Structure 1
């Protein structure tokens, strides 16, 4: 068994057990017939290896896998980690699967094409993660695209959030004690100071962003029901890859699919809707409908002026 193949095995085992409990022989058959095992030229998989893999999966991903439940000899996932850890595990497994494909096949550049547009600032990720865990006061320069100014910031870092392939630092700005978000791609001259902040902030960011789309300031808005009418073509895409965790399909016709959401009608969400053009129409709330109309009219006016 190849030593550098273990992460791929873990990913395949978890994928199989998430679909249904299986016996050792069923797992062996599944793994040996997978394209990953075929590409690696692996033709055997012992029960001892499975048992060792299960122990390592438990240590690495906090997944409890057992068998012989009430006389049953099938393996099954007995317990899962809390939701946020499970989401991290899923991203980790996806990274493992992609990494394994690239490492095992040097000619991948002829077949796999990555997005060439990459956000900057990711080099700050671990430093800020360290600062959050250790309550370190952070200093940096932050660039504002709107007013084109670079300002000095002193913050208490509290969380990191991903939104549309960009990372943001969620922190308390000591200047006005306000909770703000700072794009990592606009942070310069980062300094993780040795000084710790003593304040105990009681934010529950999982709840704070539960009804959010993006990282816009939510203090001035309340989440509300939003209904979209989508063309069947676009609706199928939105159905397969939800815009938000609150998404519910409420109606379907031969030509359209209707979705309901419960979230803050932020500028970020409006921009997302506008990106679909005529394929998606907001039905409610009226306030968001009017905002969309105003934005579209202003866009049209800018073209008419030329």
Structure 2
């Protein structure tokens, strides 16, 4: 029997404690041990092993498992729960794939790969050092390439693509996102900068959007959509947006969202156009209707 890679096991420990905490449950040590034994029934797991794993979790993942006076465990992740969960998922998959050479046939990796990821570590260094950077940027709409000089502030993933979020050093027109797949030749511009935006301000901006690109002439508004049962089940399992609320209807589901109606958002809901019904706002209903009518005329 192939033994479990220790990294996979310690990720399971953290994930279990985090999942309990999200449900406002603080698991005891015996609960954690029981869970891990159920996950890996062919291996011995006891108190001593758990104590060793706690040290590895601190050293390898940078997470300090804490317990209260009742010896109930929790993770003090403040408002970074989403980041913690995503990071653990990536780390677990990486750990699994490192042992895939023994079982190559069961892993089918998509041929669609996000480009430019080899530049992330370089950009992270520039962000940490407050370096103004310069790079070549290819525009999708015109196929033109331009040189951009940016004050990089953060890195964000959206829909399996990665982006630099920053402020244009010369134009100073507010936060912009630049896809790594369209960036090349990242260099230090030779000067440093003082950030004009906090991470909380950046988060607040992108929390109001679907995907990455803003419609600055629009406000956040309540959006109500209806879908049939099949699409509703898909949307339940893979939410459109973190603001999503779902209720059952006679023929399917009603989805309520609060965000801006950007082109990216419209493209997303149009992917389920066969059952989509826009209840509100009326402006979005008219826009979707026009897109469908134009598509019908093109394809007659």
Secondary structure in structure 2 of the residue aligned to 1:182: strand
Aligned residues: 291
Please name the residue that 1:161 is paired with. 156
TM-score, normalised with respect to structure 1: 0.86
User: Is the contact made by 1:61 and 1:89 (CA closer than 8 Å) also made in structure 2?
Assistant: no
Deviations 1:46-72 (A, max 9, x none): 312212322443453434332651xxx
User: Is the contact made by 1:66 and 1:76 (CA closer than 8 Å) also made in structure 2?
Assistant: yes
Q: Give the superposition deviation at 1:269.
A: 0.2
Q: 2:244 aligns with which of 231, 234, 247?
A: 247
Aligned ranges for residues 287-306 of structure 1 at < 5 Å?
Answer: 287-304=283-300
Q: 2:258 aligns with which of 247, 254, 262?
A: 262
After TM superposition, the structure 1 stretch with the greater mean CA deviation from structure 2, 205-214 or 103-112, is 103-112
**C-alpha distance in 2 between matches for 1:99 and 1:63:** 21
Please name the residue that 1:53 is paired with. 53
Aligned ranges for residues 103-122 of structure 1 at < 5 Å?
Answer: 103-122=98-117
Q: 1:124 aligns with which of 119, 122, 147?
A: 119
Q: 2:211 aligns with which of 187, 210, 214?
A: 214
**C-alpha distance in 1 between matches for 2:100 and 2:160:** 26
TM-score, normalised with respect to structure 2: 0.87
RMSD: 2.4
User: Is the contact made by 2:15 and 2:88 (CA closer than 8 Å) also made in structure 1?
Assistant: no
Structure 2: stretches of 5+ with no match in the other structure: none
**C-alpha distance in 2 between matches for 1:136 and 1:298:** 46
Please name the residue that 2:196 is paired with. 200
Q: 1:176 aligns with which of 155, 171, 176?
A: 171
Deviations 1:25-64 (A, max 9, x none): 44434323324x63xxx3x223122123224434534343
Q: Give the superposition deviation at 1:143.
A: 0.8
